[in-house]
Chains A and B, each alone.
Chain A
């Protein structure tokens, strides 16, 4: 008995959660860490925007309108004299949260649907896949425009429109993986020790199938940020004076020749965020691959 206790103590130390392991693996990848650090900094800046921002993002100063970058206004000012640096900071709150929320919603729904289709197959699969075909037969941007137009502009409606758009891709990806995993003997073995269908799907099949989905979801964040910005750019997403990056571009585009900084800084914010997300997604793919585990 004492032996058993001693043994469990030594093994206890060895246990490390999957999260810790993946993170350690990720930490070895320098470009992925760069992406992660940029994202963390952006998130911190977004959260602390009220503290850091030198000006109120709605405060207008017509006298100082359309100035280039100066010590007083690091990123310059826009046509109404609002501080672009402050607006970009606040904009991070909208852009990043919209991207992340849209992906969380679309991935959750997509994976639920995909796992059902992949596990059960047959007519269930057929029905689900044909419905997804309908969604995917429309161009993504067009669908988002239609949905936002129907739902009306606004923060949550935009997220919803983007989620519907992203859902089929994750459903399809998980379904394909599930079908591959389904034929494996360990699924049969799980049946033979009496796992329920739900348990087989959740504990055995999804963990073996969803690493492509994680990578896809990370990449999709970048895509969603761009889409959100695009919707705002054409006036359907978040409405001015909300400092969403896409909406800022819309306002600035007529001044692109005279005051390029008005376009450059919000544009740069989008580009850097998207790049960081993609770098991290790449690293995450390597870290999650069970075959590369050491």
Chain B
């Protein structure tokens, strides 16, 4: 089995046609609608998009920690190393969760258990997977604390005695304690200030390099994407609307939404009086518009956009974009 998975050319992580629905008050909320992604070992894929676009839902589906009640993976496949995670029985999944795949949570203030010492929380992750006795797990936890730059004598302190940045480092230590192959980082720096952000990103980069970990980075910060990612997927209303390497996306944004995102970043060199937002609001995921989900906000929208969903179009060098007016837009520029 392991031989086979090494020999195949299948990518390390592959998400195919993933669709996730939430049920709330009799309404069906289409959080993720047919997402396709691939990620190679040691690489980083950035998921960029507005709040509520379905980024976190994708990460949670990969780990299979969507809420039992009220959420359902309606369609799709997620395979890791050739194993289809969605069809694995729960006891098999438990060997993978936290061991091969782990997750860094958005808000370090709430992602740690307030009544357990930080050391014990790291040790818990280690013991759940590597077995071993308590002493070994504690040693590993101390090692991890030192690795993220916290002295081991703070092992027995509680989360509330730590600052935000330190808490996030503890969260990272927990996530990396079992040397995962895949790290799902859900806005790891959003709750932190800029200086600490840089430290945390450096730390993640350093540790990833050490263990050759693949990372799915969820963020809405283009700056973070620019410094850390290899590939970028732009998500809008539960769907990838543009997908390519970092260079492709940053140098040649093609989808009107991506163009709008970049236009919204204020320039550092010019004196700008107004910010340039994308007009309108993201659509209600319970009632997505017909056709292209972005058409109500799109300055290039045509009649055709309102009729049917737009297929993903692959341009030069595998740069993917879900827009039917790409050529006009390219000419217009």
Residues of A within 8 A of B (CB): 4, 7-8, 10-11, 14-16, 121-122, 184-186, 188-196, 203-204, 207-208, 290-291, 293
Q: Please count the residue pairs between chain A and chain B whose beta carbons lie under 8 angstroms apart in the complex.
A: 91
5 residue pairs A–B, Cβ–Cβ below 8 Å: A11-B142, A189-B171, A193-B102, A194-B98, A194-B129
B263 at the interface (CB under 8 A from A): no
Contact (Cβ within 8 A) B156 A188: no
Contact (Cβ within 8 A) B158 A207: no
Contact (Cβ within 8 A) B111 A185: yes
Indicate the size class of the contact surface on chain B. 35 or more
Q: Which residues of A contact B114 (CB under 8 A)?
A: 186, 208, 290-291
- Among B65, B155, B174, which residue has its beta carbon within 8 angstroms of that of A188? B65
- Among B65, B152, B158, B160, which residue has its beta carbon within 8 angstroms of that of A191? B65
Within 8 A of A (CB), among B165-179: 171, 174
- Closest B residue by C-beta to A207: B115
B294 at the interface (CB under 8 A from A): no
Q: A122-B69, A290-B158 are in contact. List 14 more A-B contacts (CB 8 A).
A: A10-B153, A15-B155, A185-B110, A186-B110, A186-B111, A186-B112, A189-B171, A191-B63, A192-B65, A192-B98, A193-B98, A203-B116, A290-B114, A290-B115
CA distance A207 to B106 in the complex (A): 23
CA distance A134 to B321 in the complex (A): 60
Task: Write out, one digit per residue, whether chain B residues 115-150 have a CB within 8 A of any chain A CB (1) or not (0).
Answer: 110010000110011000000001100110000000
Residues of B within 8 A of A (CB): 63, 65, 69, 94, 97-99, 102-103, 105-107, 110-116, 119, 124-125, 128-129, 138-139, 142-143, 152-153, 155-156, 158, 160, 171, 174
Chain A interface helix/strand/loop/mixed: helix
Q: Which residues of B contact A192 (CB under 8 A)?
A: 63, 65, 97-98, 102-103, 105
Q: How far is the CB of B44 from chain A (nearest CB, A)?
A: 19
- Closest B residue by C-beta to A196: B94
Contact (Cβ within 8 A) B113 A190: yes
CA distance A192 to B102 in the complex (A): 6
By CB atoms of chain A within 10 A, which of B116, B129, B158 has the most? Answer: B116
Q: How far is the CB of A204 from chain B (nearest CB, A)?
A: 5
Contact (Cβ within 8 A) A189 B105: yes
Contact (Cβ within 8 A) A186 B98: no
Q: Which residues of B contact A11 (CB under 8 A)?
A: 119, 142, 152-153, 155-156
CA distance A184 to B105 in the complex (A): 11
CA distance A196 to B93 in the complex (A): 12
Contact (Cβ within 8 A) A290 B153: no
